[in-house]
Amino acid sequence: MNAIISASELVSDLAGDTPPVLLDVRWQLSVAKAAGEPSFDGRAEYAAGHLPGAVFVDLDRELASASGERGRHPLPDLAAFGAAMRRAGVSSDTPVVVYDGGQGWAAARAWWLLRWTGHPDVRVLDGGLPSWRGDLSTDVPEPAEGDFEPVARATGLLDADAAAALARSGVLLDARAGERYRGEVEPIDRVGGHIPGALSAPTNDNVAPDGRFLPVEELAARFKALGASDGTEVGVYCGSGVSGAHEVLALAVAGIPAALYVGSWSEWSSDPARPVAVGPDPQ
């Protein structure tokens, strides 16, 4: 199953016998705020207009737990996450489509969490809300309670030690902007740089100017050039496990499974004992 869906495909699916549950995850990281404070969420934008029937999901409060030693967006408590998804109408046998304001990061975080906890049919609206050409609604839906019960998978998730090991034995991709990877700037976390052995692979390079993903062949070629292909053990991290989820999504579109280090640089850099590499080279 494709991990993304176009706006035209979504129109068709919504008119079908089993229309997907729609989740609006509009959110934007604000580097002007101190680490640990909530970032911008799209609740006001949701109220002003959203896909008809879509339920708003708060990334900071429902797709993550409180900022701390495990990073700025650690895994949510699974019981609380499951309750939030059921309130939104998510059931295990009903397809789900998630979207955000167009960047794709927040939608990818919801996609990754649902997939990692066992939902079999989740897709991201390619290009987000700007790709939608239909009407918007200001009505707030009250969906029937869903039955989704999240169960953490044994694979697909990295901690700090596993990420460090993967940088040596496989391919660990750093999804942040290149200047943060190189340590030239660090607007949020304690120190700049990257995990030794990680390769710079900004997730923004996976999309066209309109926010849609590049064609599958281009994505596959990009990741192959980085040493990542089907059969290679691949991991991804970013600043706090949000844009990294978007890179995991891009890899999935290219047919390459990858694990996510959710704590990411915000967790790694918080411990002065962990090594930090700077400059353009992995080591």
Active site residues: 238
Strand partners, 261: 158
Report the alpha-carbon angle 230-236-237, nearest 5. Answer: 180
Q: Phi and psi dihedrals of 37, rounded to 5?
A: -85, 150
Residue 44: which residues within 8 A CB-CB, separation 6 or more?
none
Q: Which residue has the tokens 């200001």?
A: 138
Q: How far apart are CA 229 and CA 1, in angstroms?
A: 18
Work out the number of other CB atoms within 10 angstroms of the CB of residue 212: 19
**Which ranges of 189-242 does DSSP label H, i.e. alpha helix?**
216-225
Q: Are 245 and 3 in contact (CB under 8 A)?
A: no
Amino acid at 187: P
Distance in angstroms (rounded) separating the CA atoms of residues 21 and 14: 9
Q: What's 68's DSSP letter?
A: B
